[in-house]
Structure 1
Amino acid sequence: MTFSEYVAYFQDIVAKESTELAAPYNNPDYFDYTKLNWHRMNRWLKTGELSEVLIQKVKSIGAPQHWILITEPWCGDAAHSVPFIELLSRENPLITLSYELRDSEPHRIESYLTRGGKSIPKLVIKNTEGHDLATWGPRPAGCQEIYDSLMQEKASFDKVKEEIQHWYNNNKGVAIQEELLLVFNDMQ
């Protein structure tokens, strides 16, 4: 799906009552979190700033690439990462970006597991022959360290959500951009 289709799908979910939706959105906790993600994603689309170094790197890509972003509206990490990837993809007409839902066909995530899990978002970069050039995701390394530490201490889900949210707010998309720059440098 295109970004417009993903946004329409996302918007359709948040415009309804949770009782009108299928799983997982019929769970009030998932539904409320998805509504928060809607606001987070749109905030970054409006206020997120791409680094000039990363913009120039993406503009220098000279061969067509197909980026596939595996995500879901309920994913908190995606709410913070998807906007930066979308904005970045717009910097070069040789890049096409499509969106796939993790929990729907074609279940591409099965080929891109992280530590054996279906963690998202996951960016897959392919060439015109369909060969993988690189992958990124599900979250920046600094955020992953916090997550791993909280999991090790068996922190509550609410504490994990809060700490991760603070990290993303304070980082302002810098880490994802630094990591994507490394990905592009490694591809050359």
Structure 2
Amino acid sequence: MLTQAALSPLLIAFVATTLFGFVIGLELHSYRRASGHGLGFGTTRTFTLLAVLGFALTLLDPGLRLFAFGFIAVGVLLALEYWARLRDGRQSLLATLIALLTFLVGPLALKQPMWLLILYVVVILLLLGEKPGIRRFSDAFRSTEAPTLVKFMVMAGLILPLLPDRQIAPFLSVSYYQVWLAVIVVSGISYLSVTTQ
């Protein structure tokens, strides 16, 4: 029985690239059929070949100069294709963006750990598969909530990591970080309770 250690890392990366490019193509076309937009740009094979092309260009030049040239060339071709679709009245950028994201699968398979590649593909698939749910959420999201959400993200993502994790005073056994974390937890619970009403 073959184990992952017995297989070449290059072979594993190639198979993962091919498989993930194929799955992204399948999901995009499943979404397009369900939404009644027709097949649109490319086929499942097109997305598989885009992923393999990104893989091959990265393999040929590990410095990524060749990949960058290929990415620009594919981007220009996709922009021309999108411009042609605009003249026909079809304005969706989804297939074009997914094609560019699929082109990035190859370098991720070669240069990053497998868990990051899997996470990348899962996020793409979730965004494609859950687009109707995301649309319902965005329609229900009140525009007045955006500034509140931004303030919460600043509190949690900018201020919290900057605070030191040392004791405030000798007689207090809590740190600045712990106090601010408590503020974020209480604010998060409050924010969620208000937004779910």
TM-score under structure 1 normalisation? 0.28
Structure with the bigger RCO (C-alpha within 8 Å, sep 6+) is 1
Which protein has the bigger strand share? 1
Which protein has the bigger helix share? 2
TM-score under structure 2 normalisation? 0.27
Find the structure with the greater CA-based Rg.
2
